[in-house]
Amino acid sequence: MGRKKIIAATGCPTGIAHTFMAAEALKKAAANLDVDIKVETHGQVGIENGLTEQDIREADGVIVAADKDVNTDRFHGKRLVEVPVARGIRAPKDLISQILNEEASVHYVSGYTKDNQKESPNSAGKETSSTNSGSNKKWLHTIYKDLMNGVSHMLPFVVGGGVLIALSFLFGIYSSDPNHEQYNQFAALLNKIGGLSFSLMVPILAAFIAESISKRPGMVVGFIGGLLANQGGAGFLGGIIAGFLAGYLIILLQKLLKNMPKSLDGLKSIFLYPVLGIFLIGAIMTPILVPVTGLNEGMMAFLASVQSSNPLLLGIIVGMMSGFDMGGPFNKAAYVTGTALLSEGNLYFMAGVSAACIAPPLIIAFATVFFRKYFTKDERNAGMINFILGSTHITEGAIPFAAKNPVVVIPIIMLGSSIAAIMTYMFGVQVPAPHGGFLVLPVVTGAIQWVFSILAGSIIAAVIYGLYRKKIAKNIPVEE
């Protein structure tokens, strides 16, 4: 009997760290279990090491560790384990064992033939979801995955646009105003292009939430719903609502039109779904724009008021959320809120979120330097890498250290992140870009104070973490 063969797909919203950490963890676990594995990664640059039809056909099972849409329809008829990307990092051996022990359910998708993974002629996408239904936990993960699919595609627009707008301010606050003495033609161009990129944030978010739910027909309808939300003032919150509405509207239309002759499948995808979908999303979104806009404005005003009146409380909340799961749902909730406020012109909130996200890997890095002899050689090497990861806003570098004793290490990281966020808010730092770490320092207002805040939180927590490692080293000597 030959070696078992497993295929996998990993993906996270930002597509920078979690995606590849999960892929590496799965490969190592497979090697230890004497299993062949091929892992497809869905990073920010796109799909790498893509799975072929032959790979899928020959596989004994599939592992999907992702917080974004990776198209599970193609795995029809295969045993499938579908989990958040963080689980792929923490428990790869368990995921592989579920396939080897045949504990995973077989994945079935309507619209695919029984004997292979070929899609049916219906180019509009899947008619119904997989019959491999799960618990409430799985349902919540599906909702989270759909939302993060939107966030993942939206981020490059926000980062690119935000940095260009910030660069235009280097020529002067009013450098894009042709009627002001500070006017600079190049700065005005930067501001215009950046503003255009930023203005697409909500439509792109809504489009790709819907795309995750109902493929291409949903994307079209979601984009229009997002445009309506953006123009109506419903902002980020309206975009989320529009995305989910659009996705499930298409699912409903697919069910209502499923008895049409197969010969008209092309007509459905190119005519009926976009025409009916766009009309329906417009008809539904128009009356709900007013209350959603009011809710959106109220939420933004509340956060802005807390930011100015109680930076201590806000810093603690943001720091704890960002440091708790380092790239997971709590971290992303804070991050997405910061991104939403950026679109409203609030550059203060994101500064605290960024500080809290940069701190965790720096905490680890400084601890491995200050308390060198209490860490193994591999840990010290990983610590050096964490200086780079932290400086570029990649929080996930701290995860392997936290995973060894999360009950102790995670609270220490949350403390350091909270200190960094609190000081950032107290200094009134403004950060115009939602990613990039210290690479965006030239466009940060209060850059010196921001760096000081991050280093203060990181070093304080690093000393506490180092003292903890020193204490446990008395009972368990460190092996080189």
The span from the CA of 49 to the CA of 43, in Å, is 11
In angstroms, what CA-CA distances link 58 with 53, 62, 77, 109? Answer: 9, 11, 12, 19
**Residue 275 buriedness (CB in 10 A; 0-12 / 13-18 / 19+):** exposed
Query: What is the number of other CB atoms lying within 10 angstroms of the CB of residue 344?
Result: 17
CA 441 to chain centre: 23
Place of tokens 């994307």: 219
Strands 36-43 and 5-11: parallel
CA 113 to chain centre: 33
Please identify which of the residues 6, 7, 12, 281 carries the catalytic annotation.
12
The span from the CA of 269 to the CA of 214, in Å, is 12
233: left (phi over 0), alpha (psi -120 to 50) or beta: left
Q: 38-41: long-range contacts at Cβ-Cβ below 8 A with a sequence spacing of 24 or more?
A: 38/5, 38/7, 38/8, 39/7, 39/8, 39/9, 39/10, 40/7, 40/8, 40/9, 40/10, 40/70, 41/9, 41/10, 41/11
The span from the CA of 169 to the CA of 425, in Å, is 21
Strands 61-66 and 46-48: unpaired
Asked about 357 being catalytic, the answer comes back as: no
Judge whether 419 and 322 are in contact, CB under 8 Å: no
Q: Is the dihedral of CA 448, 451, 457, 463 positive or negative?
A: negative
In total, the chain counts a number of residues equal to: 480
Q: Which residues carry out catalysis?
A: 12
